[in-house]
Amino acid sequence: MGAFFVFASLASLRWRHFVELVIHDNPEYRYQERTTKNQEPRTKNQEPAMEVMIRVRMGMEQAHYAGNLVDGAHMLKLFGDVATELLIRHDGDEGLFRAYDNVEFLAPVVAGDYIEAVGTITKVGNTSRKMDFEARKVIQLTNNPDKPSEAEVLEEPIVVCRASGTCVVV
């Protein structure tokens, strides 16, 4: 079975801007163990096998600098959304983002790019969750002056940002 896509229409965004949430049927993306109200929360001895990915089109409303460049803080916002979903799926609670340990901006992002933000829980403590994040450009505009809306799917995604951080749940 292929990937299942859910498209969310957000009234505050322009018609060409949409958020695409992707739930993979690929076993490496599936949540092997879900915590429900009837289950005990995971302990720090259990291996975290969880990854979350969201794909978003960068619209003109995100362009902040000359050349329609999107500010790097927008990637951190995406990582915050990924962290929130990871915590909800792992602990049943949104938790709080405590701190980033490391942030690397590796390539420019411009309006029209499609970005996949991926996060993984790498370590589980009593109340802390260590996470790694990566943002990848998967589609970009070709900048063809004859066809300004022409875009290409990149054969190899471009990593635009990496980060690691710690979240806490109570």
> Which pLDDT belongs to residue 65?
84
> Which pLDDT belongs to residue 170?
82
Q: What distance in Å separates the CA atoms of residue 82 and residue 51, rounded to the nearest whole number?
A: 9
pLDDT 10s digits, 33-67: 333 333 444 444 455 458 899 999 998 888 888 88
CATH code for position 153: 3.10.129.10
pLDDT 10s digits, 92-114: 999 999 999 999 999 999 999 99
- Which 3 state secondary structure label does DSSP give 144? strand
pLDDT 10s digits, 64-93: 888 888 988 999 999 999 999 999 999 999
Domain that holds residue 112: 4-168
Q: What distance in Å separates the CA atoms of residue 98 and residue 52, rounded to the nearest whole number?
A: 19
pTM above 0.85, yes or no: no
Number of domains, the chain:
1
